[in-house]
Amino acid sequence: MSRRVRVVAICAVLALGAGCQSSPGPAIGASSRANVPLSTAPIAFVLANPSGLLALDASGGVVRKYDLPPDAFPSGPSIAPDGRQVVFALTRIGANGFGSDILAVNLDGSGMRSLVVHEQDNVYYASPAIDPSGRYLYFGRRAGIVSNGTSVTDDGVERLDLRTNARTRLIPDAADLTISVDGRMLVFAHLVKGQVDTLWTANADGSQAKPFFAVKDRFFYLQTPRSAPSGCQVVFSGAGRTARGGGTAGGRQAHLGIPSELYLVPCDGSKIDTIAETQDDVTPAWSPDATKIAYVLGGGLYTLTVATREVRRIGQNDAFSYGDLVWLR
């Protein structure tokens, strides 16, 4: 299990109750030290991990650290269709309870505001993404509940209409979603008893949910599917792949101390190609032109050229131990 996933999993284990609220929250005021640029370089990436929400330049240098409330940890940033704001989940762990909200902030640090606010402890939101039309916000929701005296989780993908504030639960037993570039297809992790099973796909309204892979390969664990910004393919991080003919693909079993891999799949799910080996589960981020994929791992910011499979480390920073990345330019 990746370190990023462990943080959320620990919170889920503590879950005892559930609740949610979809109305937009008030703007979050900035302190006098908030959002001060650390350099004047253009923002190329936004990184979220327990150390904070950071804007990075093309070489991985920190351009800006966004001001966040204390005892709060960001995750799952994605860029809005207008290219001027980032949406992300913010988990709060402390005296004010356990739970997470979904926020938006302009790239310059202004206008931070809540889009979805948890109403009770032990409600967590993740993987927020605005569809290409700019109308709908999709996200995963996990709530801790007690069923027959046992603590369990209630998971699903939901959609918020940003014009009308109408909120709809689309798909049960689902998490970690991505939206195709045309806005018509969702790809997400299907869950069984709160644990990742495999990737599924569905229409944007949640209909016709079904397994994504046309091949019979299985994975011990997988996470963070990400749709390409052009064409029709999905990259994801996975471990412990078992080929359809039996045995392990490439002779490797990954996860839990053994290297994970990045995989590329066309939107019809007809094949699964290994494109890189990593030392842990990572969150892949497509370049805007869909020719490269970036990720952070073990103190480094890396880019992978899809056509050649060449991996380059372009930055080194303590903030790059792990985290969720989005590539802006």
Note the pLDDT tens digit of each residue in 24-67: 343 333 333 445 456 668 999 999 998 899 999 999 999 999 99
**Which residues contact residue 129 at a Cβ distance below 8 angstroms, ignoring those fewer than 6 apart?**
78, 87, 137, 138, 139, 177, 178, 179
Mean pLDDT of 3-25: 36
Measured distance CA(174)–CA(292) in Å, rounded: 27
- Looking at residues 212-223, what average pLDDT do you find? 94
Cβ atoms of residues 201 and 185 within 8 Å = yes
Stretch 227-237: mean pLDDT, rounded? 96
How sure is the predictor about 160, in pLDDT bands with cuts at 50, 70 and 90?
Answer: very high
Q: Rounded distance, CA 210 to CA 256, Å? A: 28
The rounded distance, in Å, linking the Cα atoms of 128 and 145 is 22
Structural domains counted in the chain = 1
Choice between 195 and 50, residue whose per-residue pLDDT is larger? 195
Q: Which whole number is the average pLDDT over 206-231?
A: 95
Could you give the CA distance from residue 303 to residue 290 in angstroms, rounded to a whole number? 12
For the ranges 207-221, 237-251, 289-303, which has the lowest average pLDDT?
A: 237-251
SS3 321: helix
| Residue 120 Cα to chain centre, angstroms | 23
The domain in which residue 191 lies consists of 3-327
CATH of the domain at 84: 2.120.10.30
Task: Identify the CA nearest to 91 among candidates 118, 76, 72, 78.
Answer: 72
User: Could you tell me if 188 and 174 are in contact, meaning their C-beta atoms sit under 8 angstroms apart?
Assistant: yes
More confident call, 70 vs 222: 222
The owner of tokens 């938006």 is 104
Q: Do residues 191 and 140 touch, judged by C-beta distance below 8 A?
A: no
- The pLDDT of residue 29: 34
Which H or E element spans position 260? Answer: strand 260-266
Higher pLDDT pick, 153 / 136: 136
- Indicate whether 20 pLDDT > 70: no
pLDDT value at 149 more than 90: no
Report, in this order, helix, strand and coil percent for the chain, each rounded to 5: 5, 55, 40
Lowest mean pLDDT among 139-143, 261-265, 277-281, 312-316: 277-281
Looking at the chain, the whole-number percentage of residues with pLDDT higher than 70 is 82
